[in-house]
Amino acid sequence: MSLDRTAICDYFLSLQDSIVTSLEHEDSKRFHEDSWKRDGGGGGRTRVLLDGVTFEKAGVNFSDVSGEFSEEFARQIPGDGRSFTACGISLVIHPRNPFVPTVHANFRYLTRGSRAWFGGGVDLTPYYPFREDVIAFHKIWHKACLEHSNVANYDKLKNWCDEYFFLPHRNEPRGVGGIFFDYLDSNLDEVLSFVKKCGNSFVSSYLPIVKKRKSHEYSEAHKEFQEYRRGRYVEFNLLYDRGTIFGLKTGGRIESILMSLPLKVRWLYDYQPKLGSREAELYDVYLKPKDWAREV
């Protein structure tokens, strides 16, 4: 089955517009926009906000690229031949206040030869978590999956997320998870409906948390812990993230690929949280996979 690729790209462009508009309502700064062309085929539209009041760094990217895989990389991707197309949206938001979590989402459509599929996901990375926020976030994605249960099994996608956003060298998750999927190619019309449901649910999954926590008082020690934990984000994105690897392997625009990295980050030597502290709670309670969507 073939889909209207132009219509899919148009949806991702409109989703970028709506998310950026919503984020700008929460901040005093506007996003900077770069439209770019890619050597080899296609291009994109990158939008980045730096050093805002609410968001220290936020990026919402659209790309629509085509070309040929290298022989080596082609062996890792489904399909036939070396020609490919890929379009999608990718976003990462790093808040200023340590009590507001970082969030990531991406949704993409790829083709290679006779194969076509969707991938994507969304996950939350808190520094000082609030139980009700984590539960509310997961319930949004549980609901999205239930509405499209013939193509999106929530338990599978939730577990896939927990397994994917994991740092083997640290033996710990990056955050509290969400959903993750790739190579969804059965019943593409329904998968597209599911992807649209996810894209349209992003703002309602994240901005209520931002509104509740963005004015929370914090100290320099809170900020230092946030920057320390951001180091885990950097490590994952540079070592394991499929989008980063895909962009680098296909000659993508480096500034857009690395927009996911935080503005400020630190690595401390042999850091150990104080027993019973909020920092220790992150490790002891939240960095352990749990079925948050079914909590009350």
- Which sequence positions are flagged as catalytic? 104
Residue 77 DSSP class: S
- 276 vs 79, 224, 226, 283, 294, CA distance in Å? 51, 18, 18, 11, 26
Q: Tell me the HSE value of 293 on the side-chain side, using a 13 A CA sphere.
A: 18
Select from 200, 154, 196 the least CA-distant residue to 179: 154
Cα–Cα distance, 77 to 142 (Å, whole number): 28
User: Is 11 strand, coil or helix?
Assistant: helix
User: Is 266 strand, coil or helix?
Assistant: coil
Cα–Cα distance, 231 to 160 (Å, whole number): 23
- Radius of gyration from C-alpha coordinates of the chain: 19
Q: Where are the alpha helices (DSSP H) in 26-146?
A: 71-74, 131-146
Beta strands in the chain (DSSP E): 32-37, 42-50, 55-68, 83-95, 102-112, 115-125, 166-167, 172-173, 177-184
159: left (phi over 0), alpha (psi -120 to 50) or beta: alpha
Contact between 113 and 81 under an 8 Å Cβ cutoff? The reply is yes
